[in-house]
Structure 1
Amino acid sequence: MPIVTVRHFTEEDIPLRTELLREARFTANLTDFAVGAGDDGLIARQHRTITEEHRTKRMFTLCGPRGRVMGFAWITSIDWRAQRCELSFGVLPRDRGLGALAVYAVHKHLRDELNMRVIVNQVLTHNTMFLSAEALEAQHQVRCERDSYTVGEWRTACYWTLSDEDVRKHEASAGQRRRELAERIRARIEARS
């Protein structure tokens, strides 16, 4: 059973996501549109996404053990024909240690349930909540200076795609590493016997 599951975002999730959108670290690392919006406007915007914008934007709720909400993900720039989208997410402060598992769960959900074949990822370079600066530098394919204006500053963003081919290569590589590790362990055990 997976540690993180993904479900559709509902009206009941709006208050908790609103809190996250106003959290200082989230605001500094993704977007500050919530800072200038009143509660009614922010709630209306999320409600509109649920009821009117499914063709171009979808939101999801990330759940941990026993269905406890741990964060949210949303896709934008959806191209249904090309099977592409841009992924964003925010994990609640208490669960940020599980961020990598959340990212994996969302990617799997988008591929398995929505049939997305290419997922565009974006991280602002100063955001090291899930990726270290070194990992981000090694992973990105495009670096865009002055991409986003948040918390009174222009921010640089790194973008990269994750295609079906990339996923297959990663899974094959991970499987090979597991087999090599198992073989080394077997060899050590046999050497001691």
Structure 2
Amino acid sequence: MADLLGRLVLRHLEHEDVDLRVDAQYDERVARNIAGHLALTPRDELLSRFREHVDDPASGRLEYVVAKPGGETVGYIFLTGLDWVNRTCDLSITMLPRFRTGLGYLALMCAFDYVYGCLNMHAVLTMVLDVNEMMASGEWNAKRANVTSTQANYTDGAFRAVHVWTQTRPEYEAMIAEGRARIAAMRERLGNGLGKEVGAR
């Protein structure tokens, strides 16, 4: 179990999580943001697949639950394409709809933190469907993408582009450092403004 940024907890998927995990796959608000074939798979088959991932870490797919510190599940992270020699993997995330706005981006950052910090990966491949409602705007995804494949996926009754990008550990660390610098600068500006206001009274 990893406590990430003091806000979210990342833990391995267990048998007691499988029913809720499969329910999420059948939620149309989730299904239209991911590859649509899972929603067409019989429930018993999906349950069997996820139980296999729980029982066999060598199945080629690592499944994690993202939860609040109190235990409430907010989403799921799974890793595929694991290359332990070259330290690379594919990362995917599924957020429960009611937690997308407040915790979606944080969950993704926490996933990167875990993959680089705990699994010692050097590069992570991420693939997102255009107009994905779970994470960010299509414009943000398109700008970040190394490759965009148009009409690569047919989901929710329409062809959609797929944005693909690779992020290395140094790139992630630089992004975090930049974010912390912006926060520090904002706090300093707010602090200076508050000091001037207090001094003027």
- TM (norm. structure 2) is 0.86
Instruction: List alignment gaps of at least 5 residues for structure 2.
Output: none
Match 1:108 to one of 110, 113, 127: 113
Any idea what SS the aligned residue of 1:114 has? coil
Specify every segment of 5 or more residues in structure 1 that has no aligned partner in the other structure, as ranges.
none
User: Is contact 2:52-2:59 (8 Å) kept?
Assistant: no
Corresponding residue for 2:140? 135
Q: Deviations over 1:154-177 (max 9, x none)?
A: 321001122111122112222332
Cα-to-partner distance string for 1:107-136 (whole Å, 9 max, x where unaligned): 111122211121111110121332012222
Q: 1:42, CA displacement in angstroms? A: 0.9
Counterpart in the other structure of 1:9: 13
Alignment equivalent of 2:126, drawn from 118, 121, 130:
121
Residue by residue over 1:20-48, the C-alpha shift from the partner in whole angstroms, topping out at 9 and shown as x without a partner, is 00010211110222332212111111112
User: Which stretch has the larger CA shift, 172-181 or 126-135?
Assistant: 172-181
Tell me if structure 2 keeps the 8 A contact 1:118–1:162: yes
Q: What is the RMSD of the two structures over their aligned residues, measured on CA atoms? A: 2.0
Q: 1:32 to 1:53 in 2, by over 3 A?
A: farther
After superposition, the Cα gap between the structure-2 partners of 1:184 and 1:144, relative to the gap in structure 1 and judged at 3 Å, is same
2:159 is matched with 154
Deviations 1:49-100 (A, max 9, x none): 2223535211001111401111111011111111111111111122222111
**1:48 aligned onto 2:52:** yes
The letter for the 2-side match of 1:61 is V
- Tell me the equivalent position of 2:181: 176
**Structure 2 CA distance for partners of 1:2 and 1:183, relative to 1, 3 Å:** closer
TM-score when scaled to structure 1? 0.89
SS in structure 2 of the partner of residue 131 of structure 1: coil
